């Protein structure tokens, strides 16, 4: 499927891009969506936070292990003791609510609730058709 075909299929779908505005991956995602004329809203974790219910819903879809970005500088900045406490979904969600920078970016949520996690143009096209 071409990018153009993808655009035609999604131009009437609303979606939300979750992240932090100064993140390079978020900037790249927003640029890609804008370039392909795909409308979206932006949810700024730093200003709006994230709810426990939303993280639980996402975790059911993709698993908390996908959402929790262990490659992030925020994760690396935690002590090994703090990292060791994250052994299940409740602890991971608590950490993600307290440190939203540790959530993998972007999380793109379509109106049907389906999410795409991480920057991947092929996934974008597949999920947006």
CB atoms within 10 A of CB 58: 23
Give the orientation angle of helix 89-98 with respect to helix 52-62, to 10 degrees: 130
C-beta separation of 32 from 25 below 8 A: no
Q: Which of 3, 9, 16, 23 is catalytic?
A: 23
Beta bridge partners of 36: none
Give the Cβ contact number of residue 67 at 10 Å. 21
Active-site annotation holds for 6: no
- Active-site residue set: 23
């Amino acid at each position: 499927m071409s990018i153009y075909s993808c655009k035609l299929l999604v131009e009437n779908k609303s979606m939300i891009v979750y992240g932090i505005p100064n993140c390079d991956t978020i900037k790249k995602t927003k640029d890609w969506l804008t370039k392909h004329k795909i409308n979206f809203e932006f949810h700024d974790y730093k200003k709006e936070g994230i709810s426990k219910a939303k993280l639980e819903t996402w975790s059911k879809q993709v698993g908390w292990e996908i959402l929790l970005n262990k490659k992030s500088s925020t994760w690396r900045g935690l002590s090994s003791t703090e990292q060791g406490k994250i052994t299940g979904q409740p602890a991971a969600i608590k950490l993600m609510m307290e440190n939203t920078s540790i959530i993998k970016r972007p999380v793109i949520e379509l109106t049907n609730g389906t999410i795409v996690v991480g920057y991947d143009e092929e996934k974008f096209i597949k999920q947006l058709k």
